[in-house]
């Protein structure tokens, strides 16, 4: 009993520290701007973070559940959401993903994780292709004679997860980041920290993550921004819970439900809820809702996984997120497997 109390206190302390770091990093309005006089107007830090592609969640499985995946995180998809969950990888798992994003842009992702005893190591990469546009000038407003401009990001991440007990796992990761706009490039690094704890109350578990913690970037744009303008990384703090509402994980048929609260450094607090139903331990149906988002509220997803025996398996996941009539809704596909 004393051991469980000590572990519980440790997790709460880590969570409080994470929350303090996330909430403490707030930003004042840029020079020359004043808050609105109307009481209902408020400033949430919008536009104060760079590398915004880091905020786009990967994995079709997680997206189909409304991004409520932090406390589930029980396969290779954990590399994108909660590194501590990588301790649930059995041997070696891999994932390849594709997202048809907004305005002819797209994401490509890949990850591999391997477990050795109580430790798990992972390597992942995300590439954002922002598409191309024509360079325009006052003398060539249509861009007919200009260059083609490209933009995009690439993120390479190394993860480490450690299973302290049969109930508590800790995770950490380091990311190298590069953002490109035409001939200009900016590089940086950021870190993720996370926990996953099985409470012992049924199958319930709680999780906490602090993602994209890194140094602010100083931008120099003559005639556009004041000198020494610093832009933060898109820090996100999440606290989440999940459990099986029907059956138990690994049964032929079971239902998992999850919910989480997120604090964004450059926007208001949001929430995610989702569910995943496994049938015959082969077909998965998913649904979810993301609250307080301007775009992308409800989502649907499905997956087909096949056990090949000998610890080998393969699966395909699909997700649809509703973006309304303003944009074409993103489509996500993931190929996952283990050997």
* Element spanning 32, H or E: none
Residue 190 placed within a domain: yes
Residue 81 placed within a domain: yes
Residues in the chain: 339
Q: For residue 35, what pLDDT is reported? A: 56
**Residue range 234-257: average pLDDT?**
95
Q: For residue 9, what pLDDT is reported? A: 47
* Element spanning 62, H or E: helix 60-64
- Which of 10-24, 39-53, 106-120, 299-313 is the least confident region? 10-24
Rounded to 10 degrees, what is the CA torsion of 260, 261, 262, 268?
140
**Residue range 14-38: average pLDDT?**
52
Q: What is the rounded distance in angstroms from the CA atom of residue 259 to the CA atom of residue 72? A: 10
Our count of domains for the chain comes to: 1
Q: What is the rounded distance in angstroms from the CA atom of residue 295 to the CA atom of residue 323? A: 5
Residue 334 placed within a domain: no
HSE-CB at 175 with a 13 A cutoff on CA atoms is: 27
β-pairing, 298-309 vs 283-291, is antiparallel
Which of the listed ranges 142-151, 212-221, 306-315 does the model predict with the highest average pLDDT?
A: 306-315
Residue 117 placed within a domain: yes
Return the CATH number at 231: 2.40.160
- Between these two residues, 61 and 18, which has the higher pLDDT value? 61
**Residue range 210-234: average pLDDT?**
75
Q: Give me 113's structure tokens.
A: 């994780």
Dihedral (CA of 166, 167, 168, 173) sign? positive
Residue 49 placed within a domain: no
Beta strands in 51-105 (DSSP E): 92-100
Residue 94 placed within a domain: yes
Q: What is the rounded distance in angstroms from the CA atom of residue 17 to the CA atom of residue 213? A: 13
Residue 318 placed within a domain: no
DSSP state of 331: E
Tokens 């360079």 label which residue?
Answer: 135
Residue span of the structural domain in which 169 resides? 2-26+62-133+145-245+258-266
Residue 277 placed within a domain: no
């Amino acid at each position: 009993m004393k051991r469980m109390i000590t572990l519980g206190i440790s997790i709460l302390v880590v969570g409080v520290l994470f929350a303090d770091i996330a909430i403490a990093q707030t930003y004042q309005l840029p020079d020359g701007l004043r808050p609105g006089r109307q009481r209902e107007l408020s400033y949430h830090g919008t536009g104060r973070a760079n590398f915004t592609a880091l905020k786009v969640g990967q994995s079709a499985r997680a997206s189909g559940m409304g991004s409520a995946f932090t406390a589930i995180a029980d396969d290779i998809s954990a590399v994108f959401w909660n590194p501590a969950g990588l301790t649930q990888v059995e041997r070696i798992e891999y994932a390849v993903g594709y997202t048809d994003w907004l305005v002819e842009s797209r994401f490509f992702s890949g990850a591999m994780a391997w477990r050795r005893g109580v430790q798990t190591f992972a390597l992942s990469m995300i590439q954002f292709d922002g598409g191309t546009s024509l360079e325009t000038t006052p003398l060539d407003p249509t861009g007919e004679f200009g260059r083609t401009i490209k933009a995009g990001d690439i993120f390479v991440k190394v993860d480490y997860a450690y299973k302290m007990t049969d109930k508590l796992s800790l995770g950490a990761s380091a990311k190298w980041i590069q953002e490109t706009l035409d001939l200009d490039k900016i590089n940086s690094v950021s870190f993720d920290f996370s926990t996953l704890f099985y409470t012992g109350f049924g199958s319930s578990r709680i999780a906490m993550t602090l993602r994209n913690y890194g140094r602010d970037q100083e931008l120099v744009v003559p005639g556009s921004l004041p000198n020494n303008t610093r832009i933060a990384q898109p820090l996100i703090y999440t606290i989440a819970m999940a459990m099986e509402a029907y059956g138990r994980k690994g049964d032929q048929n079971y239902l998992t439900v999850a919910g989480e609260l997120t604090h964004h450094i450059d926007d208001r607090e949001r929430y995610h809820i989702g569910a995943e139903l496994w049938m015959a331990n082969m077909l998965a149906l998913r649904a979810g809702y993301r609250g307080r988002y301007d775009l992308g509220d409800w989502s649907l997803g499905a997956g087909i996984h096949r056990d090949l025996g000998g610890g080998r398996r393969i699966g395909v996941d699909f997700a649809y997120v509703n973006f309304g009539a303003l944009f074409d809704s993103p489509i996500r596909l993931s190929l996952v497997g283990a050997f």
